[in-house]
Amino acid sequence: METVGQIIRTKRETLGLLLRQVAAHLDIDQAILSKIERNERKPTKTHITKLAEILKLDKDELMVQFMSDKIAYEIADEDCANRVLKVAEKKVKYLQSHLIKTKL
């Protein structure tokens, strides 16, 4: 089970890029990127978008990994975690069909 951090580090090394270089593209200190790769800090959505760009990763897929990481992390300690996901699924369906989409 790969974390977003692991995906990023692996791909960065494959491409032979330095923390410094990737961090510059994200416009952050390399210290943060180092921590993100080691799951010591969570990336933001902006980070994810820019990481997908420079690391030539699929943006949607990386976003899915990012968000599922976040959700899994916040409910994994609950015994009702699975039920939470099931109910959340229903609610998402409901929201998506009833919501007036206000996207661009």
Residues making contact with its own copies (CB under 8 A)? 1, 60, 63-65, 67-69, 71-78, 80-85, 87-92, 94-96, 99, 103
Which of 14, 15, 18, 53 is in the footprint of DNA by CB under 7 A?
A: 18
Q: 29-58 mask for DNA (x: CB under 7 A)? A: xxxx-xx-xx-xxx-x-xx-----------
Q: Considering the complex, what minimum distance in angstroms separates the CB of residue 50 from DNA? A: 10
Q: For residue 15, give Cα distances in angstroms to 29, 54, 56, 57, 74.
A: 20, 10, 9, 11, 32
Asked if 25 is part of the footprint of DNA (rule: CB under 7 A), the reply reads no
Q: Contact at 8 Å (CB) between 65 and 7?
A: yes
DSSP-derived letter for residue 41 is S
Report the alpha-carbon distance of residue 88 to residue 28 in Å, rounded: 34
